């Protein structure tokens, strides 16, 4: 299942910018490669970098990291629910409401690295367990169509998006 295999009808057009950041590779290869790239990036940070924000009112690095992990978990849950033919419409989530209550600015860099690796590994295990038929099912997430395979690519592209922002906006 390569990036080019998913159809735009499988996800909300909003996510196209994330998918466009990905190579035309197998989902599991992308998830593993990006995990390694991202963990290496994180290991190059210092604790004080976590408190850095590129402008007033913008998230700190710690808050952006927590957002990335939260979003990955949510998309994994969406993929699981849809693949199991749960017809319950899945709600959206307000990322701006999640960030302040996460207390991300109190966390250590090591804790973010550990959690990111665990969450990503759980996602990889999930996608490894899903057969093609399960991956191509369409459900309702945030009042839009979503397939489990699209959810995986969106998570990967979202991570790539934030890695680009960390470098371009945060100067990391």
CATH number of the structural domain spanning residue 71:
1.20.120.450
Please give the residue range of the domain that contains residue 122: 18-168
Average pLDDT of the residues of the chain: 96
Residues 40, 152, 43, CA angle at the centre, nearest 5°? Answer: 10
Structurally, the chain folds into a number of domains equal to 1
44 inside domain: yes
Structure confidence by residue, pLDDT tens digits, 59-94:
999 999 999 999 999 999 999 999 999 989 999 999
**Model confidence at 163, in pLDDT bands (50, 70, 90)?**
very high
Contact 163, 38 (CB under 8 A): yes
Percent of the chain past pLDDT 90, that is, above it, reads 99
101 inside domain: yes
The predicted structure's pLDDT at residue 69: 98
- pTM of the predicted structure, to 2 decimals: 0.95
Cα–Cα dist 83/93, whole Å: 20
The predicted structure's pLDDT at residue 171: 93
9 inside domain: no
12 inside domain: no
**Model confidence at 1, in pLDDT bands (50, 70, 90)?**
confident
Q: Where are the beta strands (DSSP E) in 4-137?
A: none
Contact 47, 94 (CB under 8 A): no
81 inside domain: yes
67 inside domain: yes
130 inside domain: yes
Cα–Cα dist 146/167, whole Å: 30
80 inside domain: yes
Which residues are paired to 2 by β-bridges? 26
Which residues are paired to 140 by β-bridges? 145
Structure confidence by residue, pLDDT tens digits, 138-154:
999 999 999 999 999 99
The mean per-residue pLDDT over the stretch 16-25 comes to 97
């Amino acid at each position: 299942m390569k990036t080019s295999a998913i159809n735009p009808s499988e996800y909300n057009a909003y996510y196209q910018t994330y998918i466009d950041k990905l190579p035309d590779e197998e989902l599991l290869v992308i998830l593993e490669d990006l995990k390694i790239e991202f963990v290496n990036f994180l290991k190059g940070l210092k604790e004080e970098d976590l408190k850095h924000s590129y402008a007033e009112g913008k998230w700190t690095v710690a808050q952006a990291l927590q957002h990335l992990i939260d979003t990955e978990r949510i998309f994994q849950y969406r993929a699981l629910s849809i693949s199991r033919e749960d017809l319950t419409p899945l709600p959206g989530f307000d990322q701006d409401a999640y960030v302040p209550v996460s207390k991300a600015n109190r966390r250590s860099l090591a804790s973010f690295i550990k959690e990111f690796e665990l969450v990503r590994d759980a996602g990889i295990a999930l996608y490894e367990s899903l057969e093609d038929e399960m991956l191509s099912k369409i459900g309702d997430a945030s009042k839009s169509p979503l397939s489990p395979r699209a959810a995986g690519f969106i998570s990967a592209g979202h991570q790539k998006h934030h890695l680009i922002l960390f470098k371009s906006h945060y100067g990391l």
